[in-house]
Amino acid sequence: MAHRIVKIAPGANYTGTTVNFDRSLLQIQAMLEKHKCSRIAIQKDMRGELPTITLLFEKAGLPYIIEFPIIYERRKKVADVLRMDISGRIIHDRIKALLIEVELDVLDFSQGMMAFLAIPDKTGRPQALQDYIVDNKERLATGSFDITYQLPEGRSP
C-alpha cells in the first residue's frame, strides 16, 4: 500500500507543533529501544515527487512496519505546504499511547502493535496488517477471507 497523502486545513490538530520530524523519529526510536525492539530501520525514499518515510523494526522475531502519512497543510492563494512535522507527531503520539498500554499491562507488545505487524502483500512486499485489512474488508465482511493464511508461514499466532 502506498503512503497515505492527507490534506488538512490551517488550524487543524497538530498544525501548531514545534517539534520537527527528525526529533519525533528519534523519540519513536527511543521508545522502541526501551521496549527491546531490534533491527530498527528507517527507510527514506526521496526518488519520487513525494518523500516517503517508513519505519521497520522487530520484536520477539515479529516484523513491524509503520508508513508515515504525507501531510500537506492547505494554503489559500499559495501552494499547499508539506508538513512532515505533523506526520511525525501523529505517529509519535499513537506509538506512545499504545506503549503506555503495554507498560500498564493492558496489552502485551504484540497486541498493542498489531496494526503495524508486517505481512506480505500480493507482491510479497511488507504491508501493515491494518492496511491489509482495509484492502480486504469486503472479503472479511463476507467471511471469505481467512487471515491466518496471511500470517508468516501460514500459521495462526
Whether the per-residue pLDDT at 145 is higher than 80: the answer is no
Confidence of residue 153 (pLDDT cuts 50, 70, 90): low
Tens of pLDDT, residue by residue over 56-109, are: 999 999 999 999 999 999 998 889 999 999 999 999 999 999 999 999 999 999
Query: How many CB atoms sit inside 10 A of residue 7's CB?
Result: 12
Domain that holds residue 140: 5-154
C-alpha Rg value of the chain to the nearest Å: 17
> In this predicted structure, what is the pLDDT of residue 139?
75
Look-up of cell digits 508461514: 153
Domain count, the chain: 1
Contacts of 146 (CB under 8 A, 6+ apart): none
Q: If we measure between CA atoms, which residue out of 46, 50, 45 comes closest to residue 125?
A: 45
Residue type at 74 in one-letter notation? R
Contacts of 20 (CB under 8 A, 6+ apart): 85, 88
> In this predicted structure, what is the pLDDT of residue 1?
46
Q: If we measure between CA atoms, which residue out of 31, 11, 10, 9 comes closest to residue 88?
A: 31
> In this predicted structure, what is the pLDDT of residue 122?
82
Sheet-wide strand order for 70-73: 5-8, 70-73, 81-82
- Provide the sign of the torsion angle of the four alpha carbons 80, 81, 85, 88, taken in this order: positive
